[in-house]
Amino acid sequence: MGASPPGDDMTPAALTKNEMTDGTQSQLTHVAGGVTAAEGFRSAAVRAGLKKEGLDLVLIVADEPAAAAGVFTTNKATAAPVVVSREHLGRSGGVAKAIAVNSGCANACTGEAGMTAARDMAAATASVVGCPLEETLIASTGVIGLLLDTNAVVGGLQTAATGLRSDASHDAATAIMTTDPSPKETAVRVRTSQGTFVIGGMAKGAGMIEPMMATMLGFITTDARIDPVRLRQALVSVCDRTFNAITVDGECSTNDSVFLLASGQSGVDIDDAQWPHFMAGLEAVAGTLARDIVRGGEGATKLVAVEVTGAATPEDANRAARAIANSPLVKTAIHGSDPNWGRLIAVAGRAGVAFELATAAVRVGPVTLFANDAVYADREPEAAAHLKGREVDIGVDLGTGGSSEATVWTCDLSAEYVRINADYRT
């Protein structure tokens, strides 16, 4: 599996056809508009003064209450906005009207005062939008331990509510950035024999990214019509293969949230026949955003796909792929374009999974450097040439003869990552 699957860099005219098991096809076309590309959604981004400069507060509003689902961090040091959003999704039965997002302050590890600030943020969102409190979702990102300035948030939300537009997605994607080098947004139009619908989204994340939901926020919208139970099923399934299959530094944060809202305004019902088409579109959007997070990782210069094959179980495949993708020795070797296959095999052997050295293999790009106890040192120059590229593909076969495999996307580890995180607060 390559580092950049077809569709990551689609131009507006590009078209991808996905063959379904029933022989039908869905056509995915890249469209502009990000999180407001789907019918029934508007957004606004403002400067509330939560960061030293730039936009830092976003309001996303559905024209009518929308089906909603969320997936959250697994970190037990859970940030206040995560607690509030989980509560609201439970109380509303999976319905949401608005999402408020701030950067510049994570509102994490802030005790009861932080919970009060988060609830005030949700209440202000409900007030400016005119919806029940439980139909609001909130998310925060930034430095841990800082208390959210609710006066700034309330004032910012009041301003944002007066400027909601369906063409302001780029500003929204910019406002949620922290150390991200650039905004991350994408959208696709899905054409099927039963009709057309759109899925779009935006995300942020550059550091503290690990495949258990990390310092990463994702917001996806669609105008397909789907009930909340099935919507959550779709989100959880796709997150396992996208947002939960990336890592920058193995650090799981306090604030991770991915939300998915469905307005239903396209009129296309996601029944059993439409389910494969919906999942293809959702995975295209989530996958692009997830890989863009890795591309924009702190100090990153390369997007790296780590493919593990020959695993005894899916769990073993995932565990080994994550271990390799998080290894500082592997990531620094990739940064230096050093085809040090020994580091790859060493991580696979200590990953705590079934492993057979005598039948294991290591590949860098198209080049096999080690297989069946044989070393192919003469191929290293070709492997080094592959590592010099912006997109790198490495593979490890665990040698068990098993059929399970997994791919995790990561990036290289550079001196710039150290500089960014050494100076993050100062």
Region 105-118 average pLDDT: 95
Region 299-325 average pLDDT: 94
Place of tokens 């609710």: 150
- Whether 301 is a known active-site residue: answer no
First to last CA, the chain: 40
- The per-residue pLDDT for range 58-87, each reduced to its tens digit, is 999 999 999 999 999 888 889 999 999 999
Query: Domain containing 176 — which CATH number?
Result: 3.60.70.12
Structure tokens at 183: 């905004």
DSSP code, position 102: E
Last residue of a domain, one of 295, 312, 346: 295
**Structural domain contains residue 1:** no
Mean per-residue pLDDT over the chain, rounded:
89
Torsion of CA 152, 420, 390, 2, to 10 degrees: -70
260 pLDDT above the threshold of 70: yes
SS3 of the chain: helix, strand, coil, percent, to 5: 35, 30, 35
- Are 401 and 264 part of one and the same domain? no
Answer whether 247's CB lies under 8 Å from 325's CB: yes
- Are 116 and 232 part of one and the same domain? yes
- The per-residue pLDDT for range 128-182, each reduced to its tens digit, is 999 999 999 999 998 888 999 999 999 999 999 999 999 999 999 999 998 777 8
- Catalytic residue chosen out of the listed positions 215, 242, 288, 368: 215
Distance of alpha carbon 424 from alpha carbon 365, whole angstroms: 34
Residues 6+ apart with CB under 8 A from 325: 247, 304, 306, 331, 408, 409, 410
Distance set, CA 24 to CA 17, 18, 20, 21, 174 (Å): 10, 8, 5, 7, 38
Domain encompassing residue 335: 303-422
Query: Domain containing 398 — which CATH number?
Result: 3.10.20.340
251 pLDDT above the threshold of 70: no
Residues 6+ apart with CB under 8 A from 349: 355, 357
- Give the whole-number percent of the chain exceeding pLDDT 70: 88
Last residue of a domain, one of 268, 295, 322: 295
Region 10-34 average pLDDT: 60
Confidence of residue 313 (pLDDT cuts 50, 70, 90): very high
**Structural domain contains residue 9:** no
Strand 41-46 relative to strand 57-72: parallel, antiparallel, unpaired?
antiparallel
**Structural domain contains residue 8:** no
- Are 208 and 128 part of one and the same domain? yes
- Are 205 and 313 part of one and the same domain? no
Q: Look at residue 2 in the predicted model and tell me its pLDDT.
A: 34
- Are 265 and 400 part of one and the same domain? no
Q: Taking the complete model, does pTM exceed 0.85, yes or no? A: no
Confidence of residue 20 (pLDDT cuts 50, 70, 90): very low
3-state secondary structure 370-411: EECCEECHHHHHHHHHHHCCCEEEEEEECCCCCCEEEEEEEE
Cβ of 364: how many Cβ atoms within 10 Å?
25
- Give the whole-number percent of the chain exceeding pLDDT 90: 75
Q: What Rg, from alpha-carbon coordinates, does the chain have?
A: 22
- Are 270 and 309 part of one and the same domain? no
- Are 288 and 321 part of one and the same domain? no
**Structural domain contains residue 394:** yes
- Greatest Cα pair distance in the chain: 68
**Structural domain contains residue 6:** no
